[in-house]
Amino acid sequence: QVHLVESGGGLVEAGGSLGLSCAASGRIWRLGAMGWYRQVPGKQRELVARMTRDGNIDYGDSVKGRVTISVNNVRKTGYLQMNGLRPEDTAVYYCNAILTPLGSENPGDYWGQGTQVTVSS
């Protein structure tokens, strides 16, 4: 059984910084990509940042220049550093991983439980 466990959410003032982490646990053969998405009520889930195993990175347009993603493939843990936070960054942040469990031939799409990030004005 594969799990993604997120940590690091919370309350921060506008202009502040916050770091999120996501640890993939279980019998994992290969981590293909890891990233974060966020969602507010009534809106679609949107990309924050995503990094592939090859090192290719995509950032959401609304966060470019303010967030940095990194992934440790050995530890199967991803990190998201967010700076210059704004009230509009308030959302539930979900970790996502594309990974192949041991014994499986195909990668699967896995999600964490979500962590709340609240930015006060």
Tens-digit pLDDT string for the chain (121 aa): 899 999 999 999 999 999 999 999 999 999 999 999 999 999 999 999 999 999 999 999 999 999 999 999 999 999 999 999 999 999 999 999 999 999 999 999 999 999 999 999 9
Residue 46 CA from chain centroid, whole number: 11
Measured over all CA atoms, what is the biggest interatomic distance in the chain, rounded to whole angstroms? 48
**What's the length of the chain?**
121
Q: Measured between alpha carbons, how far is 63 from 113 in angstroms, rounded to an integer?
A: 22
Q: What are phi and psi of 10, to 5 degrees?
A: 155, -160
| Amino acid 22: pLDDT | 97
Q: What are phi and psi of 89, to 5 degrees?
A: -85, -5
